[in-house]
Amino acid sequence: MFLFVLGFLSCYTDYSIGQEKKVISEIKEVEVTVEVPVETVVEIEVPVYIEVEVPVNEGEIWIDSFTQHNSIEGIDILWVIDRSGSMHIYNSQLLAGIEAMLLALPTSDWRLVMISADPRDSVVSTEFPLIPGDDVVDAADMMSTLGNGALEEGFESVFQYIVLNPYSSTWMRPEAGLLVVFVSDEEEQSNVRYPLAMEFVSWYRSLRGGSVFMASIVNHEFGTSLCSWAVSPLDVGERYMEATNAFGGVVVDICDSDWSPGVTDATRSLDPIENIKLTHQAEEDSIRVFINGSLNYDWYYQASDNTVYFTIVPSGGDLVEVGYRYIAAPDTGDSGL
């Protein structure tokens, strides 16, 4: 009915404005009823608009980053070892891992000390460090002095040894790099000074002008663990792994029968960073590299190993950020997490 009245008015549009006003006036004053037969069909062409959401730049955005460490003069190494009763089954892997590090280190200018993950022991430790020329026998002798500390507080143990134990200053060198290797089959529990792992990361990063490194040999979660038994969620070394990943360090499964490859990789990480393996499978044309906030072109991407290689190695202290787009989909095996 409404559409029909509109058509009725339109038939007077050819008349003068005065006539049109008159007709409109009459329509306002007179009620007109028009019967339209049910079978009458009035076709009206009405434009139809359909909203369609068109995806632009599909995928998730991710940024991987690292800060290039400064050149170092030698390296000080702390192995922070859980010596609670359950750890004794790993003694052979532990010694083999330390031996692998001794063989992978340069022939000069390094010092290595083992301390307990129990800060009550590390704060009073006075073990002279292993130095070039020492071997696995010397390492075994040092390990035997660690006792059986029951506390699982690797972060606190490092803090107390470096800051509160006066003996540490007799061999640790401010100008040298610092590598900490955590070894434990339980979760890190330094909840008083470091309730969050990133609080320890912040403190540790402030040492040695940022020339600090980290590795962890810990329990992995169910589904990825190499253990022949079901690892309790309470024993997964999530805090150790979170801290180690913050430094781009190496994480080794404690149930791996051979820690040597991981330990060797951790030793090589002391060298300047020349490439970065991306967290997700990147869309190649989306990759952008920034150094200290400026767009950089001295790199190339290799899709086969999803790695960005630098043709000019970033300088010490440079913040390197690699941004890219990736597709998080089940068929790619990349969940986006």
Q: Per-residue pLDDT tens, the chain, 337 aa: give them.
A: 444 333 433 433 443 333 444 444 444 444 555 565 555 555 666 565 555 554 555 678 999 988 887 767 789 999 999 988 889 899 889 999 999 999 999 888 999 999 999 999 999 999 999 999 999 999 999 999 987 888 999 999 999 999 999 999 999 999 899 999 999 999 999 999 999 999 999 999 999 888 899 999 999 998 899 999 899 999 999 999 999 999 889 999 999 988 988 898 888 777 788 899 898 999 999 999 999 999 999 999 999 999 999 999 998 888 999 999 998 765 555 555 5
Strand, helix or coil at 167? helix
Confidence (pLDDT) at 8: 36
Position 260, amino acid: S
Quote the pLDDT of residue 292: 95
What is the 8-class DSSP label of residue 164?
I
Question: Measured between alpha carbons, how far is 223 from 53 in angstroms, rounded to an integer?
Answer: 38
Sheet holding 275-277, edge to edge: 275-277, 307-310, 299-302
Residue type, 93: Q
Q: What angle do CA 201, 204, 206 make, to 5 degrees?
A: 110
Supply the pLDDT for residue 43. Answer: 64
325 vs 97: CA distance, rounded Å: 38
Find, among 171, 70, 174, 65, the residue nearest to 126 by Cα.
171
Domains defined along the chain, listed by start = 1-49 (no CATH), 60-66+275-332 (no CATH), 73-268 (3.40.50.410)
Q: Please, is 178 exposed, middle or buried when counting C-beta atoms within 10 Å of its C-beta (0-12, 13-18, 19+)?
A: buried
Using alpha carbons, select from 323, 303, 322, 328 the residue that is nearest to residue 59: 328
Whether 98 and 136 have beta carbons less than 8 Å apart is answered as yes
pTM above 0.75, yes or no: no
What was the pLDDT predicted at 44? Answer: 60
Identity of the amino acid at 293: G
Give yes or no for a contact between 90 and 143, defined as CB atoms under 8 angstroms apart. Answer: no
Sign of the C-alpha dihedral, residues 57, 297, 266, 120?
Answer: negative
pLDDT at 46: 56
